[in-house]
Structure 1
Amino acid sequence: METMGRHVISELWGCDFDKLNDMDFIEKTFVNAALKSGAEVREVAFHKFAPQGVSGVVIISESHLTIHSFPEHGYASIDVYTCGELNPNVAAEYIAEALNAQTRENIELPRGMGPVQVNQSKVTAQ
């Protein structure tokens, strides 16, 4: 059976505090990441926490992109799940670059295939 989807879980460290704490910047980044990957954006919802942090989701026809940011730690938890021919790594890499992530660890899970086989990559900025 072919995969129903690809799910990238991205751990981003060493991100820019101000970007992680800017809801408008994150929302635009996520919408642009979805569009860059070829996705069709359906709905967008983001929330700014006090004193800092942003959580949000971009619903795409092909599934979703999510973030939970922790500016005080320079950390962002990202999920990009796509169905069909879209490559979730395109959006994940776009987001990592936009947030100036110094270290990123991506785990890719095929969804809907039965037993999970994990593909993992780690990149540290030089």
Structure 2
Amino acid sequence: MYTGTHLLADLSGCSGLDDAARVELALREAVAAASATLLDVRLHHFGPGQGVTGVALLAESHISIHTWPEHGYAAVDIFLCGQSHDLDAALAALSTRLEAGRCDERRVARGYGLPD
């Protein structure tokens, strides 16, 4: 049986969401906190005062973020395969680095061989 967890989070009241370097650092800290294997980080900044879209490509899957600085909001997607990675620590690292005032999350079990 193969399983993983997909964590979706809405971060509100965030700071620095128009700063690509800060968003990249947040992704890298999340990867380290999860004890995942980083393959690459890709970012796109939409311009001064605009948001950032980024993804950390992992051997175990990915962590992605899309930011709306004008709303202090970031949408986060953490998908890690296997049971040995700490999704809570990854989310905490992102939330801390981006100074989130609120974090709402949902989790989905993914994989084959899962019970119906």
After TM superposition, the score normalised by the length of structure 2 is 0.90
Alignment gaps of 5+ in structure 1: 116-126
In the alignment, the residues of structure 2 paired with residue 114 and residue 9 of structure 1 have an alpha-carbon distance, to the nearest angstrom, of 21
CA contact (8 A) 1:8 1:89 kept: no
Relative distance call for 1:43 and 1:114 in structure 2 (3 A) is farther
1:47 to 36, 44, 47: 44
Equivalent runs, 1:1-126 vs 2, <5 Å: 4-16=3-15, 19-51=16-48, 52-84=50-82, 85-112=84-111, 113=114
Greater relative CO (CA pairs within 8 A, separation 6+) = 2
Alignment gaps of 5+ in structure 2: none
CA contact (8 A) 2:12 2:102 kept: yes
Please provide the CA RMSD for this pair.
Answer: 1.4
In the alignment, the residues of structure 2 paired with residue 58 and residue 114 of structure 1 have an alpha-carbon distance, to the nearest angstrom, of 30
In the alignment, the residues of structure 2 paired with residue 102 and residue 94 of structure 1 have an alpha-carbon distance, to the nearest angstrom, of 13
Alpha-carbon deviations, 1:70-99, whole Å to 9, x = none? 000000000111011212121111101111
SS at match of 2:23: helix
- Percent identical among aligned pairs is 35
Moved over 6 A (4+): none
Aligned length, in residue pairs: 112
